[in-house]
Amino acid sequence: MMYQNVPVPKVTAAFGGGYVGAQAGYAWGNARVGQTFAPGAFDDYGWGYGPSGGFGGLYAGYDKQFDGGLVLGIEGDYSFASVKDTTLYRAAGVDDPGFGGVLELEAVGSVRLRAGYAMDRWLPFVTGGLAMAKYKHTTVALPGGAAYADVEDTVSGYTLGAGAEYAVTDNWLVRGEYRFADFGRHPSTRIAVPSGVPLHDEIDLKTNDIRLGIAYKF
Contact, 133 vs 104, CB < 8 A? no
Q: pLDDT averaged over the chain?
A: 95
Q: What is the DSSP letter of 144?
A: T
Residue-by-residue DSSP string for 91-142: ETTEEEEEEEEEEEEEEEEEEEEEEEE-BTTEEEEEEEEEEEEEEEEEEEET
pLDDT for 15-68, tens place per residue?
A: 999 999 999 999 999 999 999 999 999 999 999 999 999 999 999 999 999 999
d(CA 57, CA 59): 7
- Residue 128's contacts (CB-CB under 8 Å, 6 or more residues apart) are 112, 113, 114, 158, 159, 160, 161
Is pLDDT at 5 greater than 80 in this prediction? no
Is pLDDT at 169 greater than 90 in this prediction? yes
- The predicted pLDDT at position 163 comes to 99
Domain ranges of the chain: 19-217
- Angstrom distances, CA of residue 217 to CA of 1, 2, 66, 68: 47, 45, 17, 20
d(CA 155, CA 193): 23
Residue-by-residue DSSP string for 35-88: E-SSTTHHHHEEEEE--EEEEEEEEEEEEEE-TTSEEEEEEEEEEEEEEEEEEE
CA atoms within 13 A on the CB side of 55: 29
pLDDT for 100-156, tens place per residue?
A: 999 999 999 999 999 999 999 999 999 999 999 999 999 999 999 899 999 999 999
pLDDT for 67-113, tens place per residue?
A: 999 999 999 999 999 999 999 999 999 999 999 999 999 999 999 99
Contact, 73 vs 64, CB < 8 A? yes
- The predicted pLDDT at position 102 comes to 98
d(CA 58, CA 79): 6
CATH of domain 19-217: 2.40.160.20
Instruction: Give 13's pLDDT tier (boundaries 50, 70, 90).
Output: confident
d(CA 210, CA 130): 17
